[in-house]
Amino acid sequence: MRESRFWALSMLAAVVMLVVLTAHMAVMHLSPLVGVSLETTRSFAAVLDRARSGVQTWGYYLLLAAALYHGLYGLRGVILELPVGRAGARAVTVILALVGLIAFGYGAYVVAETARLAASGI
């Protein structure tokens, strides 16, 4: 893939993160600013309650994908500044893509499992 596509995707991921991460921060960390205590927003019941909403589930899939891509693309940029050669650069790209996929799989499993628990009515 051309470098411009990697870069454009990274910019797109940044915009997605700006929206989804802002929502995450507002709910999970900044709710006291509007008079809602953190205990209320972070309690087990409140987490499961939000997990019943498809918006939250898909929002976290999106945040996970965007944050992983953006972060690993940046890490690739740092690593490839080292004299790794053409084959080394390809290997770094493949390894980081695999790391990203595995991390996404693990994170997506946690999000899906939370949603499943919520739906089961615990």
Partner 1 sequence: MEARRETVTFRVFRYIPGDGEKGFRSYTLEVPEGTTVLEALHIIKEQHDPTLAWRSSCRMGVCGSCGMLINGEPRLACQTQVLHLGSKVVELRPMANYPVTRDLVPDLSSLFSKHAAISPHILRPDQREVDSPTGEFIQSPAELESYLQFSYCIKCGLCLAACPTVATDPDFLGPQALAQAYRYSADTRDGGLDSRRGVLDRFHGVFQCHMAGACSAACPKGVDPAFAIQLLKREVVLRGLGKRRRRLARVSPLPSEHVPSEKIPAAPPRTA
Contact set with partner 1 (CB under 8 A): 2-8, 77, 80-83, 89
Residue 32 or 74: the one with the smaller Cβ distance to partner 1 is 74
Q: 3-class DSSP state for residue 83?
A: coil
- The least distance separating partner 1 from the CB of residue 90, rounded to whole angstroms, comes to 10
Residue 86 or 122: the one with the smaller Cβ distance to partner 1 is 86
State the Cα–Cα distance between residues 93 and 102, nearest whole angstrom: 14
- The least distance separating partner 1 from the CB of residue 8, rounded to whole angstroms, comes to 5
- The least distance separating partner 1 from the CB of residue 92, rounded to whole angstroms, comes to 10
In three state form, how does the secondary structure of 23-55 look?
HHHHHHCCHHHHCCCHHHHHCHHHHHHHHCCHH
Q: 3-class DSSP state for residue 36?
A: coil
